[in-house]
Structure 1
Amino acid sequence: MARHIEDEVVYYYDSHSTEEDLMGETSFHAALMHYLVDVLTWFFHERACAIYENLNFYQTSNPHEYPLAPDIAVIKGVAYQPTRSWRVSKSGPAPHVVFEIASLETWKKDLEEKPLKYARMGVHEYFAYDPHEPPLPKSSSRRLFGWRLDQDGSSMKEMPIGPGGSLWSPYLESWLVPDGAMLRLYDHSGQVRLTQAEAEARRAQVLAEKLRSLGVDPDQLL
């Protein structure tokens, strides 16, 4: 118990704002972040997978370390647990996948500085997306950017773009496809990955159509 208490670090930025905390969040940013979390949560709901929004990630025991706080972090093989922050190696592994959603204030850093920072933390895949209408200046030619950790783990290489600006993510087992203000995930057969609400609505629709084909009015069963 004493050793456990000694290992606990009270990080300054767990109770004080970072620069990112002080920035406003556009409706584009908020809508896409919540949508992606819903899609990923449903896709992995039968597997151990922790998905966090804006969680502070640390790499040392220095209480004044400035954290990395991706908009979305996906940690496979780990069950979700409520936590104030995450210390890589002590709390668990580095995220397998992180997302940053563009803002005018952070987009330059997202594209130019974050790939190396996430590589040093051990992140395997990093995706950055601009949902704004019109797109921000640095993403006028495309909205989606992706990087993958090198085999030696020292840096990240930008992923080659597929048809329609898409990228394949082995860790998410999905194609990431730009769709204006939204970023969609598709499986290998071209089926879009759904949120739980969308999946349940689709199942209800299929059942209703089946009942109608049998001459039963599903509305009369309610």
Structure 2
Amino acid sequence: MSADSYRVDPDDPRAPPQEVWDRLTPEERAHVIDSLPFEFPLSEANPPEGDPHYEAKARAREVLGGYFSRIGRKVYLGCELPVYYPGERMFAPDVIAVMDVEPHSRMRWVVNAEGKGLDLALEVHVAGERRKDLERNVERFARLGIREYFLFDRGRLKLTGWRLAGEGRRVYQPIVPQQGFYPSEVLGLELQLEGERLRFYHGRAPLPEADEMIATLERMVGEAEAHRTEEAQLRAELERRLAQEARLRLEETHRREESERKLAEALAELERLRGGRR
């Protein structure tokens, strides 16, 4: 099999089935990957959903990226990245997570080439028809073996999660919230809605978002500046007191020396008078 014998249909781009992929040479595989579009074909394009949709998915990726970077775990996170499973139609969830892989920049996720499928998918729904997210994705993601799938219905402010029913099974079961928190075994975190936001938690403590981290840093800088000002004031007061004490000691020394001088003069005068009487 040659790369020429496997052609990517631009209207229905798909990675080759695994048995076809296995017969390709490294050069032929690279050619196929380059042929897979990283833009949305018209068949997969969805109408834009505005700022609430963009902000929710971008915030989720940013918060998770910061968290995994801080704990030193390699996790690839993508937003609307074209995903190609062998022989399957291309799809692009709002957010994807693949655990324990190099998090370098990618234009597409090709399961054949990466050697691993998605561990988690997150969709954000704001407006329009919900069947894709609530029905078709549930069936498709389970069939593909994506361990967890979460749906944040931004319009209805509702969070739903699914997880594969067991090892080797390709059927989802609902994730049951615990005191309002949806546990993610993939991320090792919990998800919950806070007002109009989807938040991630570790040990029931919310992961900080960018605006919160900026506010915290600004407060720390302000406290540090205030601390430095207070230290400078204390240092100036200490220096003033030390100078005052040194001046008082010097004055006391001068007074003592003057007293001793006068005493010596008086004793000398007394001695002189005594000598005169002899």
| TM surpasses 0.5 | yes
* Separation (CA, whole Å) in 1 of partners of 2:152 and 2:42: 22
Report if aligned partners of 2:79, 2:94 keep a CA contact under 8 Å in 1: yes
Structure-2 residue corresponding to 1:154: 170
Bigger drift between 75-84 and 14-23 goes to 14-23
Query: How far did residue 115 of structure 1 move?
Result: 1.6
Q: What's 2:77 paired with?
A: 51
Corresponding position of 2:53: 29
Q: CA deviation at 1:153?
A: 2.7
- Residue 170 of structure 1 corresponds to which residue in structure 2? 185
Cα separation, partners in 2 of 1:179 and 1:83, compared to 1, 3 Å = same
Superposed, which structure 2 residues align to 1:79-94 within 5 Å?
A: 79-94=102-117
Higher relative contact order (CA 8 A, sep 6+): 1
Mapped to 2, the partners of 1:77 and 1:146 lie a distance apart of: 22
Task: Work out which of the two has the higher radius of gyration on C-alpha atoms and give 1 or 2.
Answer: 2
> Does the CA contact (< 8 Å) of 1:53 and 1:71 recur in 2?
yes
**Secondary structure, counterpart of 2:65 in structure 1:** helix
Q: Number of matched residues? A: 204
Q: What is the identity, as a one-letter code, of the residue corresponding to 1:174? A: L
By how many angstroms is 1:203 displaced? 4.1
The residue number in structure 2 matching 1:7 is 29
Q: Distance in 1 between matches of 2:211 and 2:35?
A: 37
Cα-Cα RMSD? 2.6
Letter in 2 for 1:7: R
Equivalent residue letter for 2:91: L
The answer for unaligned runs of 5 or more in structure 2 is 1-23, 233-278
The CA deviation at 1:3 is 1.7
Per the alignment, residue 213 of structure 2 pairs with 199
Q: Which has the higher helix share?
A: 2
Q: CA separation of 1:161/1:103 partners in 2, compared to 1, >3 Å: closer, same or farther?
A: same
Given candidates 202, 210, 213, the residue that maps to 1:187 is: 202
Contact 2:126 2:154 in 1 (8 A): no
Q: CA deviation at 1:205?
A: 2.1
What secondary structure does 1:21 align onto?
coil
